[in-house]
Structure 1
Amino acid sequence: MKKLTIVFWVALGILLFFVLFGIIAPSTFEFYSGELRGFIADTLGWYYLLVVTGFVLVCGFIVVSPFGKIKLGKPDDKPEYTYLTWFAMLFSAGMGIGLVFWGAAEPIAHFMTNAPTAETGSSEAIMEAMRFSFFHWGVHAWGIYAVVAMALAYFKFRKDAPGLISGTLGPVLGKYSRGPVGHAVDIIAVTATVVGVASTLGFGAVQINGGLDFLLGVGNNFTVQFIIILVVTVLFLISAYTGLNRGIKILSNVNLILAVTLFAFMFVFGPTLFNLNLFTNTIGTYIQQLPSMSFRIAPFEEEQRAWIDGWTIFYWAWWISWAPFVGSFIARVSKGRTLREFVLGVLLVPSIVGFLWFSIFGGSAIFLEQNGIAAISELATEEALFGVLDNYPMGAFMSVIAITLIATFFITSADSGTFILGMQTTNGSLTPPKTVKLIWGLMLSATASILLFTGGLEGLENAMIVAALPFSIIMILMTWSLIKSLRIEKAALDAEREKKRS
């Protein structure tokens, strides 16, 4: 435990305070978190839209600029993982639980209960449901992850900076990045990471509960969810003790196999032609309307503005609060790749996988609803996937596969989270002590439990939106620092080449 920094103790103290607050005064905790979430969404929605779109534009600039040739590492460094394993790890860490949770639930919700602008239940509502699902889970989400991961990997592997969020801010903050200001940055990053990961684990626990209730009638309540969290906590702590290259790598590949199995089943037995037509059409409208969706704030339409606050702003905040963890993990497994290769891989491959996932599962849910086969929209959000599977051959068996997939995603997310939190609170150590990972694993589970106890799914959403705000400011500084350092390095390389020529 000698490697522990002040960041560990202060961040742990802050989080313990909120956990105890939630236990002692759950109603008060729920009230104030809800009020704060409402204030941020109402007054700063414009800010979230601008800043997230800005991150995507920065990624695009790096791809087409000469900076794209620069490696995340020394000139002779090679990637540690094959493309397949790399993509599997991106998929598992980045959105696994979320895709399974929302894959059927979000499109059917937009179609039947709250379409952005169209009449619910109409053909236009189907197009909107799919387009906005693509929008929420596409390049904007992965652009957020990419800027954090690029900065961390670049400064860690090329400039030999500590693998900390504060370690990326040297070009902007100078000596202050290593003092109290740097510690404050890392404390914000750690607290955002805990809230982001814990909230996602909460979604996983709720959906596992929903699946078990749908299949076995065990009840859908906090007690069952708490038991699920306890069981999975033991499993992911065992996985965390085996180390990154064993536990996470093996489970990431298991995730990929289970996800492909579930996807292939629905692709074969679902309304395949309907889903493929939906995918193709939505890709076109997504690309065509991406600019207008990116800046859509509906200042004169109160109902549409409420929809944007409840969906788009919620998602942007989720990805930002999730970014310290996912960005750190992606950086850790991306050493040796060029910036251009990295950005294209991180932005495009997971986005396309997500689009296919929503088209197959969301499309199947819409098909069942539109043709009067099943009322998926009447099910609880966490039961939508199981309601879809129930209408196809081997539905119960595939629901068991889905629950297993959610559980393994739960384990890999928490497992990766304990590693990243351990690294961030031991001055960037790539081998954080097992005791530190144990402490953070327990804190993740405690935070997930308290958020569910005090507000259920809404409590999870409130926490993410609140935690995202301060870290979004740090992300802007990280992006500025990265571009500044890349410009300095490019100028130095150009001067060296010119010197050799002369």
Structure 2
Amino acid sequence: MRPGVFFPAAGFIVAFVVLAMALPGASFTWITAAQDAVVDSLGWYYVAVVSAFVVFALWTVVGRSGEVKLGPDDAEPEFGLGSWFAMLFGAGMGIGLVFWGVAEPLHHFAGIPNRSPEMLQGGDAAGVAEGALVQTLVHWGLHPWAIYAVVGLAVAYTVHRRGRPVSLRWALESLLGERRVRGALGDVIDVTAVVGTVFGVATSLGLGVSQIAAGLEALDLVRDPGLAGKVLIIGLITLLAIVSVATGLHRGIRLLSRLNLGLAGALLVFVAVTGPSLFLLREGVQLVGVYAQDLVRISLNTSALSGERGVEWQSWWTVFYWGWWIAWAPFVGVFIARISRGRSVREFVAGVLLVPSAVTLVWFTVFGGSALWHQLRREGAQFHGGLIGDDGSVSQAGALYELLESLPWATVAVGLAVVLVALFFVTSSDSGSLVADMLASGGRADPPVWSRVFWSLLEGAVAVALLTVGGETGLTALRYAAVIIALPFSVVMIAMCVAMVRSLRAERRLQLRIQRGLQREELTARVWQNLAEEGVVHPDTGPGDDPGDSPDTGGGPENGSGNSPPGAGL
């Protein structure tokens, strides 16, 4: 282990849990006040900086340095495209898509701040539904994956191209210098990353048990599992994650990720085929155009003219999401960097940014579009009788199962969804444990099994402790804490962008020097070949010899002769 990272990170996490257990009310008040201050004062900053990360990621795709290899020039990818994509997608947000695929579009349809209930009554329900889907795609499409791509590219370049340990600190070496990176400042960067990783995964475990419990209730397997049942679910997920992370990246994590992707694809196809298929095909094509048309406007929307209601909505949705993705960026970025050796910069960023965004669009088109189709069809322009309650409320944990129960073979579909949710939580937990362990062990790519198990247990223990003591309040406090941690790490990400620009430009300059040198050598060889045809003998060769095969010794620049043409000594 690296003591300067391991003990401060573990100590901070344990201290937070103890404080939350001892003073749950006061802790929640303090953290909520800090989160409100961040949102009220710096919500605009989150919106601006995340949009800038999207621009940076696109620049790396279309820029001239896209062919730079993340590793030696002759390196081959460590994993095939299927396994690579499955692992980065499962670690990045697979569980989030399952949880919010139905619920978030319905939430936006019921309460997006830039429209009033009169719009629904006036017959503009279809337009509001379209806006709800576009808003959801902004939260889950290019922007979060651009955040992951920034951190992942910086770490992958540092680790695979420059041979540094698997650690965030070394991504800033070109700015801070080797001495500072190795010292206390580097430890602080990695401690922040470990804490954010554990908080993010623990919160997902705590919030995800509600969806698993709702699925078990929908299957009539349990009735109100209560606190004991939720703790048992967290324990089972943690146990599976320990087994997965202990077997290693090439076995447990890779195989589970591929299984997750297969199950998700099966559920997606089932809903698309048994649901309103023709509507989904039309909506998918239309949504691409609306998303592309409104992307810039919605990306920079801060609800400035919506008053307190707009600020509240931003704090719950856009600003929260941007902080949440940034808090998860160390975990996901380091993980996808670890599995991306041998890929070019362009292939890495395009794979991380564009492919998952396209899959996300298809996912929300099928699940969110189906939910909104049912909602509009059942209720007309009112909330009554649909997937949204009479008061405009949406069941976050149960919305997916409510949609599936309206389709044929509902029991099979709900069972598949419960298994999928559980496995996605396992892959998030084992990937998070591996990343936290790599950072806490000084950047070792394959840390020891005991420390992997330790971080898996710690994540589960944090979720259980806060769920036991504070219930939903404790988990909300942990979520707010992750958003607060994102603020200083966003500055680290900006520094990573600057460092990557400098590094890629240096690579480009080196490539140009090598290319120009080769061109000069080729031009020189052609000149002497022409001269040889005219009877001029190269000073380093004899009559009939090929100037390109000249020996290393002779009358060239190395033994004092000045007869070589310009550029021959390069």
Q: Give the TM-score category using the shorter length.
A: over 0.9
Distance 1:24 1:305 in 2: 31
Task: Work out the number of aligned pairs and report it.
Answer: 500
**1:194 maps to 2:182:** no
Q: CA deviation at 1:497?
A: 2.2
Partners of 1:353 and 1:180 in 2: how far apart? 41
Question: Which structure 2 residues correspond to residues 72-471 of structure 1 after superposition, within 5 A?
Answer: 72-114=70-112, 116-117=114-115, 119=117, 121=120, 122-174=125-177, 175-216=179-220, 217-219=222-224, 221-302=226-307, 303-372=309-378, 375-378=386-389, 379-453=394-468, 454=470, 456=472, 458-471=476-489
- For residue 74 of structure 2, give the secondary structure of its aligned residue in structure 1: coil
CA contact (8 A) 1:199 1:463 kept: no
Alpha-carbon distance between aligned partners in 2 of 1:480 and 1:205, rounded to the nearest angstrom: 40
Post-superposition shift, 1:9? 0.6
Match of 1:372, SS?
helix
Q: Deviations over 1:183-210 (max 9, x none)?
A: 1111111111111222222232221122
Rounded to whole Å, the distance in 1 between the matches of 2:277 and 2:482 is 35
**C-alpha deviation, 1:223, in angstroms:** 3.4
CA positional deviation for 1:455: 5.5
Secondary structure of residue in 2 paired with 1:186: helix
Structure-1 residue corresponding to 2:21: 23
Contact 2:167–2:442 (Cα < 8 Å) also in 1: yes
The one of 519, 525, 529 aligned to 1:501: 519
Higher mean C-alpha displacement, 21-30 vs 244-253:
21-30
Contact 2:166 2:443 in 1 (8 A): yes
**Change in CA separation of 1:40 and 1:451 when aligned onto 2, cut-off 3 Å:** farther
Which structure has the greater CA radius of gyration?
Answer: 2
CA separation in 1, counterparts of 2:274 and 2:185?
56
Tell me, in whole angstroms, the C-alpha distance in 1 between the residues paired with 2:25 and 2:56.
Answer: 42
Range moving further from structure 2, 111-120 or 475-484: 111-120
**What corresponds to 1:48 in structure 2?**
46
8 Å CA contact retained: 1:452, 1:460: no
Range with greater deviation from structure 2 (440-449 or 395-404)? 440-449
- Secondary structure at the counterpart of residue 107 of structure 1: helix
1:487 is aligned to: 505
Match of 2:524 in 1: none
After TM superposition, the structure 1 stretch with the greater mean CA deviation from structure 2, 120-129 or 94-103, is 120-129
- The answer to whether the Cα contact below 8 Å between 1:232 and 1:410 also exists between their aligned partners in 2 is yes
Quote the Cα distance in structure 2 between the aligned partners of 1:118 and 1:478. 42
Task: Return the TM-score normalized by structure 1.
Answer: 0.96
Sort the Cα spacing of 1:266 and 1:460 in 2 relative to 1 into closer, same or farther, 3 A.
farther
Change (3 A) 1:260 1:168: same
- Structure 2: distance between partners of 1:111 and 1:448: 31
Cα separation, 1, equivalents of 2:435 and 2:242 = 14
The structure that is helix-richer by fraction is 1
CA deviation after TM superposition for structure 1 residue 28, in Å: 1.6
Alpha-carbon distance change, 460 to 21 in structure 1, aligned in 2, over 3 angstroms:
closer
Distance, in Å, in 2 between the alignment partners of 1:117 and 1:195 is 35
Are 1:101 and 1:207, in contact at CA under 8 Å, matched by a contact in 2? Answer: yes
1:5-24 maps to which residues of 2 (within 5 A)?
Answer: 5-24=3-22
For residue 67 of structure 1, what is the aligned residue in structure 2? Answer: 65
Which secondary structure does the structure 2 equivalent of 1:169 belong to? helix
Deviation at 1:116, TM superposition (A): 4.2
Which moves more between the two structures, 13-22 or 267-276?
267-276
Mapped contact 2:260–2:420 kept (Cα < 8 A): yes
Query: Helix, strand or coil: the match of 2:398?
Result: helix
CA-CA distance at 1:16 after TM superposition: 0.5
The two structures, once aligned, show a CA RMSD in angstroms of 1.6
Distance 1:77 1:118 in 2: 56
Contact 2:78/2:342 (8 A) holds in 1? yes
Mapped partners of 1:12, 1:117: distance in 2:
46
Report deviation, 1:291: 1.0
Q: Is the 8 A contact 2:218 2:414 kept in 1?
A: no
Shift in Å at residue 306 of structure 1?
A: 2.4
Deviation string, structure 1 residues 256-310 (Cα, Å, up to 9, x no partner): 1110111111011111122222222221111111111111112232122322221
Uncovered stretches (5+) of structure 2, i.e. residues with no partner: 380-384, 521-570
- Contact 1:297–1:308 (Cα < 8 Å) also in 2: yes
Amino acid aligned to 1:155: T
Identity %: 39
